[in-house]
Structure 1
Amino acid sequence: MDLFGTRHLVKAADLTLGAAGCPPTSILTDDSTVLFDYGLHDCGSRLQMVGDLLVYTTHVTHTPKARGAIIVRTNGAVVPIQCRYFRKGNASSNPIKPTWIPFRSTKSREGHLSFSLRLMNDDWLTERNSSTYYLGDLIHIEASVSMINYMPLKLYVDRCVATLRPDNDATPRYNIIDYNGCLLDSVAEDSFSTFVLAPERELDKLRFDLDAFRFEGHSLIFISCSLKAATVNRSDSLNKACTFQKMRSIWTPLEESDVDICACCRLGNCAASREVRFASRGKKGAVLKAGILSEVAVIALLTVTAVIVFCPASKL
């Protein structure tokens, strides 16, 4: 209430917020403070975009009212207020201090196949050293498999799901990729997610861009993906990487194909392969699924998990 720093306290009834003239919501008598508790868009505040910032502009108005005295000790005043937030971020009063969780998750099957997911920098050449993103960012994800002492195989991503904990069956969950390689998130109107074709397709790697998102009320998500290595010439509805092209309203494969291998993405039903389980000799609890697609098409399927943290804009 000592608005002017003169030790003469103003009256709360003489203060209003914004063009709408919102009154104070409470008065804290212990420290002589007046509280205005309103939303950013309330009381006639004005929003502008300035560079990379969202700027909310409002003001507090002091209008002293005559109450029978002939003298006054305060003048009227208008105090401008700006609240600034980075445009690529979450406006939040709850600061988040993300704890680093190692991103890479790798498991091996008897020393022959080793699957992994990595967060990559924009150049796709180096691994990103942080798993913290702002909404609006593109998350570059590279799946890979190491094929030591193994016949030539080609990597595919069967399924990816986002959850709030490292359990791909947890709820709520959001299917990012499903139906043996259909990038379902690319269908969303506000998404720029897509499979990315490298200048030279490396059989042991598969890349895709994921438009950053989070669950409402949460800033940490886990992304679990089922990775598969199949014989090189096995390109069909079970071994594919398909993106929805919104401009043309069609599903297209990452690489050209003589047949419409993405047809089942439109139908939302792709035939599943026969599966049989093998226990891993690596880390405890790791289980691989292996299925026979044909006499010569052997796959190994494994779920690996990524951890993504979304951080609010810094306070200014």
Structure 2
Amino acid sequence: MNLDCGPDSVTLVWTETRAQANTSLFRLGSCFPTSLSAREAVFTVDFSDCSFSRMVTGDKLTYANDLIYVSPPDSPIPSFTRPVACVYDRPKDWFPVIYEPVFDTYGQGDLVFHIGLMNGNFSGPAESASFPLGSMIPIMASVAQKSHQPLLLLLEECVAASTPELQPESSVYPIITNKGCLMDSKVSRTKFEPRLKFSEIHLLLQAFRFAEGEEVFLHCRLVAWDPDSLDHTRKACHYDQQQGWELLDDPANSHLCDCCESSCRSRRTRSTSAGKHEQKAILGPLTITMNS
């Protein structure tokens, strides 16, 4: 296997010496080869494709995936998997965005925030905190309010970590970044579910390859916001493979999600913190297991 790691893409060439092998049966994550010959399978892909995972560990940034050979029945060559990783120096200005998490439920004035694992139809709490790789993890966050006007609950940031406390050197997997952009939806089946209430947000998170078999903690920032004042920094956006970035609460204004590929900053001149209520929260531990 020859691997050429670029700034935001990779070229992988697998040279096969066995005559019985079929190079069209190679996959890089979720991607087919970009070119083929009788002896070579070539992949030239971006890290935003093919279900690459992005992890920051210490002073290193790693994009990881698997090269898979899917053997047909009765083939003399068994199926196999080879790890693929491109490792870079961590950007000097990168650090985990969320600190000092609190557990489960927390009150702020007359607001009470909650985040929890749910069962498959979001009708009650999950019976288990163990999820096979590739399965869906239902997560619900909510805010209970008393005298406040109706507020929209948003997940502003979420990262997975293998520790209940986040430090600058923590190993993390970004899920929601850039002020409400569900980045994991670009490379998986992760998505926001349609809202039933302003005060709740439902997230279906596809179990990812991170700290397999170990405890995983989700560190999130919850924001309660005026539902009539969404902007580039107060939104819930996920990626649809056919439509592109879509605003959960008003698809007609999905232009608010355009910044998800760059940097989301408010275009308002006044402070966007007016009327904002936020809470840092932690969900876990949960465990991601290999499929049996």
Query: TM-score range with shorter-chain normalisation?
Result: 0.5 to 0.7
CA distance in 1, matches of 2:199, 2:147: 14
Change (3 A) 1:262 1:313: closer
Query: Could you tell me how far 1:206 is from its partner in structure 2?
Result: 0.6
- After the TM superposition, which residues 1-316 of structure 1 pair with which residues of structure 2 at under 5 Å, given as runs? 105-110=104-109, 112-169=110-167, 170-188=169-187, 191-198=188-195, 201-216=196-211, 218-248=213-243, 250-256=244-250, 257-258=252-253, 260-267=255-262, 269-271=263-265, 293=272, 297-307=274-284, 308-312=286-290
AA at the equivalent of 2:118: M
State the alpha-carbon separation in 2 of the partners of residues 193 and 180 from structure 1.
17
The question of whether the paired residues in 1 share the 8 Å contact of 2:266 and 2:272 is answered with no
Q: Describe the SS at the equivalent of 1:167.
A: coil
Partner AA of 1:255 in structure 2: D
Output the amino acid matched with 2:185: S
- The two structures, once aligned, show a CA RMSD in angstroms of 2.8
Q: Taking structure 1 as reference, are residues 292 and 300 closer, same or farther at Cα in structure 2, changes over 3 Å only?
A: farther
Structure 1 residues 52-111: Cα deviation after superposition (integer angstroms, max 9, x where no partner): xxxxxx9xxxxxxxxxxxxxxxxxxxxxxxxxxxxxxxxxxxxxxxxxxxx97111113x
Q: Which amino acid aligns with 1:305?
A: I
Per the TM alignment, residue 230 of structure 1 is displaced from its structure 2 partner at its CA by 0.8
1:237 Cα shift? Answer: 1.0
Once the two structures are TM-superposed, the CA of residue 311 in structure 1 deviates from its matched residue by 3.7
Structure 1 segments of 4+ aligned residues over 4 angstroms from their partners: none
Q: Deviations over 1:248-307 (max 9, x none)?
A: 4x211112244611011022x112799xxxxxxxxxxxxxxxx9527xx41111111111
Cα displacement (A) at 1:185 = 0.4
Structure 1, residues 133-170: CA drift from partner, whole Å, max 9, x if none? 11121001111001122222111110000001012345
Cα displacement (A) at 1:210: 0.4
Does structure 2 retain, via aligned residues, the 8 Å contact 1:273–1:293?
no
How far apart are the structure 2 equivalents of 1:143 and 1:226? 10
> What is the distance in 2 between the residues matched to 1:306 and 1:193?
17
Structure 1 CA distance for aligned equivalents of residues 161 and 175 of structure 2: 11
Question: Compared with structure 1, are the counterparts of its residues 216 and 130 closer, same or farther at alpha carbon in structure 2 (3 Å cutoff)?
Answer: closer
Q: Distance in 2 between matches of 1:266 and 1:196?
A: 22
More strand by share: 2
Q: CA deviation at 1:218?
A: 4.8
Which ranges in structure 1 are unaligned for 5 or more consecutive residues?
1-45, 49-57, 59-102, 275-290
SS at match of 1:126: coil
TM-score (structure 1 length as normaliser): 0.55
Report SS of the residue matched to 1:263: helix
Q: Deviations over 1:195-220 (max 9, x none)?
A: 1103xx31110111100024255532
CA distance in 2, matches of 1:234, 1:165: 35
Counterpart CA distance in 1 for 2:253 and 2:129 is 38
Matched-pair contact (CA < 8 Å) for 1:292–1:299: no
CA contact (8 A) 1:141 1:207 kept: yes
Q: Distance in 1 between matches of 2:206 and 2:147?
A: 36
Partners of 2:132 and 2:246 lie apart in 1 by: 29
- Given residue 252 of structure 1, which amino acid in structure 2 is its aligned partner? E
User: Kindly, what percent of the aligned residue pairs are identical?
Assistant: 28
Give, in angstroms, the shift of residue 243 of structure 1.
Answer: 0.9
1:293 counterpart letter in structure 2: T
Aligned length: 191
Distance 1:123 1:217, change over 3 A: closer
Taking the aligned partners of 2:184 and 2:261, their CA distance within structure 1 comes to: 13
How many angstroms does 1:313 deviate by? 5.8
Unaligned runs of 5+ in 2: 1-70, 79-101
